[in-house]
Chains A and B, each alone.
Chain A
């Protein structure tokens, strides 16, 4: 139910509402979180950024879901990259040791190979994801929207009673 609503919202956002940079920003930040293997301090920080900046939340959630699946496939790459950065590059060893002894940094679990690999790759990929998504939203709004509205799946989601019921509950105002 929640996810149906999420997909519907995401499609509607692509169509109208928030600006393409807001949607792309939410998607890029969501992709970073999606890459993380488990909850760490940086997950919290990225969530805070998502909440503080006026980026699209649905886009972030969709990106989180999609990139979590991709992350599972990319795990060996994350592990290898993290191992190289943490163990094989002697120049960085001092930095890691410093961070390891710092009061807060260990909460990021940066010394885990998959966390390190996914974080670095997530940050690097966030930029192309942002610009790619931005271009996609603009193109969607111009050319693709009319076609998508004709899709059967879109209409099913839109008319789903579950989604409508969920929207009613959500729209209840305090004190009413």
Chain B
């Protein structure tokens, strides 16, 4: 026997084998824990791991994976887990798990110890998905939603806004319009004064003409020639008066036209006043009775908060399920580690592949009558889907008590250059014991005893996101923690207490690096109907108050204008009437004088004729 061989090879080998046999379980356990911690960034604890060689497999009684964001809670914990591996592929350094059973999987359990990693151990660097995370985008949207509180509080509205000072400060269109009319009226008045001066002059002229005509004494006119000359003078006087009157009439008509325009423009004061009223109402921000936005303010933030939580897991799936890149970017690895470049593989196994994992879990049926039970399968968990050519899929069905039913289907496709994640979730019979709604600054409230059915569809191709949530809330009761702080809250509560169910349709999608949200619900309409009843009178009264004040201000200005206008118009009309009478009188004088002269002329003509006949017969 070779003593040296026995001493230095065989015995150490046997000792090594015994040590390996005794400690292999602990080593594998420690290895898995370390690898898991590097991936998750928080404590991973495995209990009672046992490695079996035939068939090759691992079994452990419990695994706890701490939540890196909340180390006093587990992201999940499992009961017994067992898996069988492909021994042939293991010799090729490939971890192909043919079947895996995960029992009693429970999410979010509390921990008795802190699950964060020691300060010295660096958290695994998050793989980048090539853009900002959805979680960050959801946080942005959440932050923006705070800025959109509607001004709904009537009491605050009344306290905070002084209608008088607001009206005083406004440059009303109607007032401006009246001022313009006043200016026009003043200009017309000045024009009228010019006419008045001319009127006085023409009065004198007409009087002079009239005097000259009156001065003609038909009886003193002896010859027909003299009479004809006098008639001609009377005609000229008549014509002169008419010409003077015509000139004045033209100017008078111009002023009258302006006055008529001003009178027509007075009617449009009402239109401007209506515009001014609307402007003041807008400035006061009277709540819209359609109430669109109330439901979003009430529910949107709560839903966004929930979405923000789930986005962490969506980001986790996007970043941790390896995507295929035909030419990977050059990384900066730790010294002497290098970067592994992967090439297309045909008819081969990937480095790591769980072909089928059966998952079941829930709460203790004996202790909890409303126990949760979930079961399902996750297929094709692998480090390289291009090798398997199969996307990872998950199909889970769950129940809670007798009412709640849940179905989740998910697909994580990394077989192509553009990664694709899809989620389809349907939940029915969710019993909401207590859900906090609203915001500290707007209607803080809770929904209790509600039943919810919901459907969620999400599609995430590459860095795009398109998700839709439809939920039906039924049998709900609104509860309010404290007394209403103001009239607005009191009215809103009164309205909401009459709401016992509503539907919500929320769509969330991203454009570039920000989320957009479309939120539709019939709660707005229900709220509007209730609000109309409860708030209508108050709003009408407030609107009336504003209307009265605006109208009063406009009426004051209008009265000023109308007084001025009426006075000036009366004066002008009086003067015109007097002038017209004077003209008429003088024309009458000229007419009568002309008639006298004509009669005289006829008489003269007849006298001459008689004389000529007499002379003829005398001969």
* A interface list, Cβ under 8 A from B: 37-38, 71-72, 75, 78-80, 82-83, 86-87, 93, 96-97, 100-101, 103, 106-107, 109, 111-115, 117, 174-175
Residue of A nearest to B351 (CB): A106
Main secondary structure of the interface of B (DSSP, over half): loop
Within 8 Å of chain A (Cβ to Cβ): is B19? no
Stretch at the interface among B121-129, B340-348, B362-370: B340-348
| Known A78-B338, A79-B333; contact A174-B343, beta-carbon cutoff 8 A | no
B336–A113 CB distance below 8 A: no
Most interface-central of B337, B338, B347 (chain A CB within 10 A): B338
| Known A107-B93, A174-B3; contact A83-B346, beta-carbon cutoff 8 A | no
A111–B93 CB distance below 8 A: no
Residue of B nearest to A37 (CB): B336
B339–A113 CB distance below 8 A: yes
A111–B343 CB distance below 8 A: yes
Inter-chain pairs besides A101-B343, A107-B93, 5 sampled, C-beta below 8 Å: A38-B336, A79-B338, A82-B338, A106-B92, A111-B343
Residue of B nearest to A83 (CB): B330
> Which residues in B have their C-beta under 8 angstroms from that of A106?
92-93
* B interface list, Cβ under 8 A from A: 2-4, 92-93, 327-328, 330, 333, 335-348
- Cα A97 to Cα B93 in complex, Å, equals 18
A86–B3 CB distance below 8 A: no
A112–B336 CB distance below 8 A: no
Determine how close the nearest CB of chain A comes to the CB of B282; give it in whole angstroms: 63
Determine how close the nearest CB of chain A comes to the CB of B91; give it in whole angstroms: 10
Residue of A nearest to B333 (CB): A79
Determine how close the nearest CB of chain A comes to the CB of B141; give it in whole angstroms: 38
- Cα A31 to Cα B474 in complex, Å, equals 76
| Known A106-B92, A175-B3; contact A114-B344, beta-carbon cutoff 8 A | no
The tally of CB-CB contacts under 8 A between chains A and B is 67
A93–B343 CB distance below 8 A: yes
A75–B336 CB distance below 8 A: yes
> Which residues in A have their C-beta under 8 angstroms from that of B345?
100-101
A86–B336 CB distance below 8 A: no
Determine how close the nearest CB of chain A comes to the CB of B100; give it in whole angstroms: 24
- Cα A37 to Cα B334 in complex, Å, equals 11
Residue from the list A72, A82, A101 in contact with B346, Cβ < 8 A: A101
A111–B330 CB distance below 8 A: no
> Which residues in A have their C-beta under 8 angstroms from that of B337?
37, 114
| Known A93-B343, A97-B344; contact A174-B338, beta-carbon cutoff 8 A | no
| Known A87-B327, A175-B3; contact A113-B341, beta-carbon cutoff 8 A | yes
> Which residues in B have their C-beta under 8 angstroms from that of A113?
333, 338-341
> Which residues in A have their C-beta under 8 angstroms from that of B4?
174
> Which residues in B have their C-beta under 8 angstroms from that of A87?
327-328, 330, 341
Show 14 residue pairs from A and B whose CB-CB distance is below 8 angstroms, ordered by the A residue. Answer: A37-B338, A79-B333, A79-B339, A82-B338, A82-B339, A97-B344, A101-B345, A101-B346, A101-B347, A111-B343, A112-B340, A117-B338, A174-B4, A175-B3
> Which residues in A have their C-beta under 8 angstroms from that of B328?
87
A86–B348 CB distance below 8 A: no
> Which residues in A have their C-beta under 8 angstroms from that of B342?
100, 111
> Which residues in B have their C-beta under 8 angstroms from that of A103?
92
> Which residues in B have their C-beta under 8 angstroms from that of A96?
341, 343
Which are the 5 A-B pairs with shortest beta-carbon distances? A114-B338, A100-B343, A37-B336, A112-B338, A86-B341
Determine how close the nearest CB of chain B comes to the CB of A7; give it in whole angstroms: 25
- Cα A87 to Cα B327 in complex, Å, equals 6
- Cα A175 to Cα B339 in complex, Å, equals 52
- Cα A174 to Cα B559 in complex, Å, equals 134
| Known A71-B336, A111-B342, A111-B343; contact A101-B348, beta-carbon cutoff 8 A | yes
> Which residues in B have their C-beta under 8 angstroms from that of A82?
338-339
Residue of A nearest to B335 (CB): A75
Determine how close the nearest CB of chain B comes to the CB of A44; give it in whole angstroms: 14
> Which residues in B have their C-beta under 8 angstroms from that of A79?
333, 338-339
Determine how close the nearest CB of chain A comes to the CB of B3; give it in whole angstroms: 6
> Which residues in A have their C-beta under 8 angstroms from that of B344?
97, 100
- Cα A86 to Cα B3 in complex, Å, equals 50
